[in-house]
């Protein structure tokens, strides 16, 4: 038994202190018993030496987050799992295991692979930063592998480790591994998962799980454990837009009124202005109270109680948010719903929806389409069956605060509860407010088109998508977009080019370059592009689109993998030096305002699908880079 685990018995406080500053990675393991999952987890825990005793420390961590026993360890959490489940009286079959190495602490959400797996998987994946997806080297990528990957992508997991297990049963064959790796990498790219690593291993023999072993000399990459210890997952958190869903109003006496909850996003400091949603009332943070004394600043996922400088009305289910980037407040939303019950999801039926700390009755007004996880095609359906995934319009009985899931997962996801059985029957990820989708509230019923996107695209023999070129003025978007479209045309693909410069003369002629007008311009371009995608076309868009939020909004309108963001990167000096349209000179002379890179920022994409450097590369090289990315994503043959 290791030194650290001895400490648990002799001096728990010292043990916890030692581990306090190590960063924590939550991950999920996906795969079935047949894929060797139990052996894999056993091997991971066994070879990393620190086994089950450490669960105590995990419980201690969850206790401070969710528990009710103050500084003491809430042992009930050991048996009960997560608080949100406990509150609903739902038992979901997810085992949370804890272990740690010298470099990191880990929580594994282990979900059984039986037929109800989607429910378990979605629950486990909803708090995970990374997924380990197991495949059996003898069978390779299966339907279930694709389904798991799709759900991981939906839930915003950005790091996937594909564990190609049972290499011993294929004679440690390099070719077998490489074929699986290539097939999977291509599929994951189509889903838009940015970070995918594949490791050949044998959980049974131990090779490449924690220790390298001796059977795979041709593999010189990291072991699975090395990847788990080093994957950089912290940057995935949203620390900008404050969201504090209020779990409880704490009122021990007349002179104290605090709002307690777990920070879902953003940071909070005393003195910060906050807006309470849905009311819209504003106040400032007076104190951030915790069991260990007042804080100067708090980050997610800390549990805090804040007090405000004004007596405004805030209750459970409300969200305290940043006034500059507040959550959407609406009573209709579009969401991708993973259905987890035998009884199908039926439009028109009443369910309860638990979103953040709010629970409201709701109906699914309609199912826009069901998504085939194998082909990623859309199908028109009247209901969703067990394990199926669909994009749905949800009508809530009250206006509640929420966010798109890919911006803030905690306030962008919900569970669907059957009102009779109180079982969780679905999990939803918000794509956007439905009124946003419609532009404005309208009574006009939607018309269902007889022909589907799949049919239209099928006729053209291609996979439609949006290729979105963003970059400073003069960086090369228009030139590149035209060259790209010509290359596509020559290869026989059907495409269209939407250049903002033209849109501004027609569709957006009424808009200026203010923050809101840019958002509206991009919404119109996105709406048009989505129609072209629906028509089966590869749609190239060239738009300055300097704000990340606006680009994220476009990404959200299409399926995972259908939005390919290209950062057309050039230094501001290079753009200024060329100044083809004289815009920079006019901005310097004060004749125009709001030019990105001059008097407003350009928010460069953090993880674009493609980055081209138009200062260093010639046009042809940049075009080739984009074509390669499209090939890798299965858009081009």
Which parts of this chain interact with ligand PPS (CB under 6 A)?
A: 473-474, 477-478, 500-501, 504, 513, 518, 521-522, 543-546, 581, 583, 592, 594-595
> What is the sign, positive or negative, of the torsion defined by CA atoms of 521, 522, 527, 533?
positive
Q: Which is nearer to ligand PPS, 496 or 513 (CB)?
A: 513
Residue 360 lies near ligand ADP (rule: CB under 6 A): no
H-state helical runs in 439-514: 453-460, 477-490, 500-503
For residue 41, give the H/E element and its range: helix 37-47
Q: Is 472 annotated as a binding residue?
A: yes
**Segment interacting with ligand ADP, rule: CB under 6 A, options 3-11, 352-360, 396-404, 474-482:** 474-482
Q: Is 10 annotated as a binding residue?
A: no
Min. distance of Cβ 589 from ligand ADP in angstroms? 19
**What residues contact 395, with CB distance under 8 A and at least 6 apart?**
331, 332, 362, 363, 364, 365
> How many Cα atoms sit within 13 Å of 335 on the Cβ side?
32
> 3-state class of 459 per DSSP?
helix
CB neighbourhood size of 50 (10 A): 22
Residue 595 lies near ligand ADP (rule: CB under 6 A): no
Min. distance of Cβ 567 from ligand PPS in angstroms? 13
Q: Return the one option of ligand ADP, ligand PPS, none that residue 45 interacts with (CB less than 5 to 8 A, by type).
A: none
Direct distance between the N- and C-terminal alpha carbons of the chain, in angstroms, rounded to an integer: 54
**What residues contact 255, with CB distance under 8 A and at least 6 apart?**
none
Residue 614 lies near ligand ADP (rule: CB under 6 A): yes
Min. distance of Cβ 486 from ligand ADP in angstroms? 13
**What residues contact 24, with CB distance under 8 A and at least 6 apart?**
61, 104, 105, 106, 107
**CA 300, CA 100: separation in Å to the nearest integer?**
21
Q: Which is nearer to ligand PPS, 575 or 623 (CB)?
A: 575
Min. distance of Cβ 503 from ligand PPS in angstroms? 6
In the shown chain, the binding pattern of residues 533 to 562 toward ligand ADP, with x for contact by CB under 6 A and - for none, equals ---------x--------------------
**CA 322, CA 268: separation in Å to the nearest integer?**
9
Q: Is 479 annotated as a binding residue?
A: no
Min. distance of Cβ 512 from ligand ADP in angstroms? 18
Min. distance of Cβ 609 from ligand PPS in angstroms? 18
Q: Return the one option of ligand ADP, ligand PPS, none that residue 362 interacts with (CB less than 5 to 8 A, by type).
A: none
Residue 580 lies near ligand ADP (rule: CB under 6 A): yes
Residue 618 lies near ligand ADP (rule: CB under 6 A): yes
Which of the following is catalytic: 100, 126, 545, 622? 545
Q: Is 471 annotated as a binding residue?
A: yes
Q: Which of 617, 632, 634, 636 binds ligand ADP (CB under 6 A)?
A: 617
**What residues contact 126, with CB distance under 8 A and at least 6 apart?**
155, 409, 413, 427
Q: Return the one option of ligand PPS, ligand ADP, none that residue 592 interacts with (CB less than 5 to 8 A, by type).
A: ligand PPS
Min. distance of Cβ 632 from ligand ADP in angstroms? 20
Min. distance of Cβ 432 from ligand ADP in angstroms? 28
**CA 600, CA 514: separation in Å to the nearest integer?**
10
Tokens 């999920």 -> residue: 28
Radius of gyration from C-alpha coordinates of the chain: 25
Q: Is 317 annotated as a binding residue?
A: no
Active site residue 543: no
Q: Which of 261, 266, 278, 476 binds ligand ADP (CB under 6 A)?
A: 476
Residue 93 lies near ligand ADP (rule: CB under 6 A): no
Residue 585 lies near ligand ADP (rule: CB under 6 A): no
**CA 110, CA 31: separation in Å to the nearest integer?**
10
For residue 553, give the H/E element and its range: helix 548-557
User: For the chain, how many residues are written?
Assistant: 637
Q: Is the peptide bond before 301 cis (omega within 30 degrees of 0)?
A: yes
Q: Return the one option of ligand ADP, ligand PPS, none that residue 594 interacts with (CB less than 5 to 8 A, by type).
A: ligand PPS
**CA 105, CA 272: separation in Å to the nearest integer?**
32
Q: Return the one option of ligand ADP, ligand PPS, none that residue 100 interacts with (CB less than 5 to 8 A, by type).
A: none
**Which tokens sit at 548?**
């990340």
**CA 293, CA 70: separation in Å to the nearest integer?**
12
**Which tokens sit at 461?**
């023999």
Q: Which is nearer to ligand PPS, 401 or 597 (CB)?
A: 597
What residue number has its CB nearest to ligand ADP? 476
Q: Which is nearer to ligand ADP, 402 or 584 (CB)?
A: 584
**CA 578, CA 569: separation in Å to the nearest integer?**
14
Q: Return the one option of ligand ADP, ligand PPS, none that residue 522 interacts with (CB less than 5 to 8 A, by type).
A: ligand PPS
Q: Return the one option of ligand ADP, ligand PPS, none that residue 463 interacts with (CB less than 5 to 8 A, by type).
A: none
Q: Is the peptide bond before 278 cis (omega within 30 degrees of 0)?
A: yes
Distance of alpha carbon 484 from the chain centroid: 29
C-alpha closest to that of 483 among 617, 633, 635, 632: 617
> 3-state class of 319 per DSSP?
strand
Residue 470 lies near ligand ADP (rule: CB under 6 A): no
Q: Is 250 annotated as a binding residue?
A: no
Q: Which is nearer to ligand PPS, 26 or 477 (CB)?
A: 477
> 3-state class of 479 per DSSP?
helix
Q: Which of 423, 477, 518, 523 binds ligand ADP (CB under 6 A)?
A: 477
Q: Is 112 annotated as a binding residue?
A: yes
Integer CA distances (angstroms), 212 to 40, 271, 357, 508, in order: 14, 52, 45, 59
Q: Which of 326, 464, 471, 596 binds ligand ADP (CB under 6 A)?
A: 471
Min. distance of Cβ 470 from ligand PPS in angstroms? 8
**What residues contact 58, with CB distance under 8 A and at least 6 apart?**
96, 97, 98, 107
Q: Is 31 annotated as a binding residue?
A: yes
Q: Is 105 annotated as a binding residue?
A: no
Residues in the annotated binding site? 31-38, 110-114, 165-168, 471-478
Residues in the annotated binding site for GTP? 31-38, 110-114, 165-168
Residues with active-site annotation? 545
Residues in the annotated binding site for ATP? 471-478
Which residues lie near ligand ADP (CB under 6 A)? 471, 473-480, 542, 578, 580, 614, 617-619, 622
């Amino acid at each position: 038994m290791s030194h650290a685990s001895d400490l648990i018995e002799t001096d728990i406080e010292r043990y916890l202190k030692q581990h306090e500053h190590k960063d924590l990675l939550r991950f999920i393991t996906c795969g079935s018993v047949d894929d060797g999952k139990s052996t894999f987890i056993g091997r991971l825990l066994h070879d990393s030496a620190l086994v089950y005793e450490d669960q105590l420390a995990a419980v201690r961590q969850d206790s401070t987050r969710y528990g009710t026993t103050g500084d003491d360890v809430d042992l009930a959490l050991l048996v009960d799992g997560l608080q949100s489940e406990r509150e609903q009286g739902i038992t979901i079959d997810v085992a949370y295991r804890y272990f740690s190495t010298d470099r990191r602490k880990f929580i594994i959400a282990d979900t059984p692979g039986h037929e109800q797996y989607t429910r378990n998987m979605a629950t486990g994946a909803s708090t995970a930063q990374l997924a380990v997806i197991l495949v059996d080297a003898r069978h390779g990528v299966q339907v279930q592998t694709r389904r798991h990957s799709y759900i991981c992508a939906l839930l915003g997991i950005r790091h996937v480790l594909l564990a190609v297990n049972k290499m011993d049963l294929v004679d440690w064959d390099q070719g077998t591994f490489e074929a699986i790796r290539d097939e999977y990498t291509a599929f994951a790219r189509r889903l838009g998962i940015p970070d995918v690593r594949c490791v050949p291993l044998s959980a049974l023999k131990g090779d490449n799980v924690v220790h390298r072993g001796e059977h795979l000399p041709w593999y010189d990459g990291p072991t699975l454990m090395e990847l788990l210890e080093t994957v950089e997952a912290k940057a995935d958190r949203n620390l900008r837009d404050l969201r504090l869903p209020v779990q409880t109003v704490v009122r021990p006496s007349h002179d104290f009124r605090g709002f307690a909850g777990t920070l879902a996003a953003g940071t909070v400091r005393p003195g910060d202005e906050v807006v309470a949603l849905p009311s819209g009332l504003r106040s400032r943070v007076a104190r951030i109270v915790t069991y260990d004394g007042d804080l100067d600043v708090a980050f997610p996922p800390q549990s805090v109680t804040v007090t405000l400088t004004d007596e405004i009305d805030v209750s459970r289910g409300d969200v305290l948010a940043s006034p500059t980037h507040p959550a959407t407040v609406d009573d209709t939303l579009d969401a991708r719903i993973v259905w987890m019950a035998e009884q199908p999801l039926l439009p028109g039926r009443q369910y309860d929806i638990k979103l953040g700390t709010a629970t409201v009755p709701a109906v699914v007004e309609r199912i826009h389409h069901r998504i085939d996880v194998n082909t990623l095609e859309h199908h028109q359906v009247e209901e969703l069956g067990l394990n199926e995934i669909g994009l749905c319009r949800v009508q809530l009985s009250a206006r509640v605060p929420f966010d798109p899931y890919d911006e803030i997962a905690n306030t962008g996801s919900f569970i669907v509860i059957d009102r009779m059985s109180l079982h969780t029957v679905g999990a939803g990820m918000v794509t956007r407010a439905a009124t946003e989708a419609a532009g404005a509230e309208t009574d006009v019923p939607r018309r269902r088109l007889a022909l589907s996107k799949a049919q239209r695209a099928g006729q053209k023999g291609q996979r439609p998508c949006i290729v979105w070129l963003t970059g400073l003025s003069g960086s090369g978007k228009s030139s590149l977009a035209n060259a790209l479209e010509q290359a596509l045309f020559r290869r026989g693909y059907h495409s269209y080019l939407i250049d903002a410069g033209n849109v501004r003369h027609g569709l957006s002629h009424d808009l200026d370059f203010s923050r809101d007008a840019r958002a509206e311009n991009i919404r119109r371009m996105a709406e048009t592009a989505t129609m072209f995608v629906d028509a089966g076309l590869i749609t190239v868009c060239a738009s300055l689109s300097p704000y990340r939020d606006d680009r994220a909004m476009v990404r959200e309108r299409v399926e995972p993998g259908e939005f390919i963001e290209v950062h057309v990167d050039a230094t501001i000096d290079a753009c200024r030096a060329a100044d083809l349209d004289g815009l920079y000179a006019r901005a310097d002379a004060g004749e125009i305002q709001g030019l990105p890179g001059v008097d407003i920022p350009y928010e460069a994409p953090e993880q674009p699908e493609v980055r081209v450097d138009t200062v260093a590369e010639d046009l042809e090289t940049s075009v080739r880079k984009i074509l390669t990315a499209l090939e890798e994503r299965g858009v081009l043959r």
